[in-house]
Structure 1
Amino acid sequence: MSSESLIKMANQIAQFFAHEADTVQAARSVRLHLQSFWTPAMRNELSALQVEHSDNTLHPLVKAALSESGEH
């Protein structure tokens, strides 16, 4: 899967959960979704992209979810 597709999908997931008032819970929801529905390879690639794209390419909730899961 292309890097752009992974970033786009992860950001869409984050946008879905961004309405939650508690940002910590929103990040946990993103993390849980990624763990439940994404393969380990997809999560690992997304984690690698987080390092490559230190700009604002990834939604802050995605970054928080990856940091919280220890997959970086």
Structure 2
Amino acid sequence: MSSESLIKMANQIGQYFASEPDHAVAVRGVYQHIKSFWTPTMCRDLMAWQTKHPDAVLHPLVLAALMEFAEAA
């Protein structure tokens, strides 16, 4: 899957959970959604892309969820 598609989907997930008033719950929602519905390869590819492009346009909730993935690894 292309990086552009992964970024678009990740940002849509982040936007969906942005209405959650509790930031920690929102981050956990993004994390759990990616963990449940994305393949491990998709998640690794997004994390690798983010590492190479630290100034990328990922939703802040997605960035926080990616940090949780990195900590869990």
- Confirm or deny a common fold (TM above 0.5): yes
RMSD: 1.4
Q: CA deviation at 1:19?
A: 0.4
1:44 equivalent in structure 2: 44
TM-score, scaled to structure 2: 0.91
Query: Which shows bigger deviation, 13-22 or 54-63?
Result: 54-63
The list of structure 1 runs, each at least 4 consecutive aligned residues, that deviate by more than 4 angstroms after superposition, is none
Structure 2 unmatched runs, 5+:
none
Structure 1 unmatched runs, 5+:
none
Native 8 Å contact 2:50 2:56 kept in 1: no
Q: How many residues align?
A: 72
Alpha-carbon distance in structure 1 between the residues aligned to 2:26 and 2:36: 15
Q: CA deviation at 1:26?
A: 0.4
1:22 equivalent in structure 2: 22
Residue by residue, what CA displacement relative to the aligned partner does 1:34-59 show, whole Å, maximum 9, x if unpaired? 00000000000010111122114111
TM-score, scaled to structure 1: 0.92
Letter paired with 1:63: L
Q: Percent identity?
A: 58
Alpha-carbon distance in structure 1 between the residues aligned to 2:46 and 2:5: 10
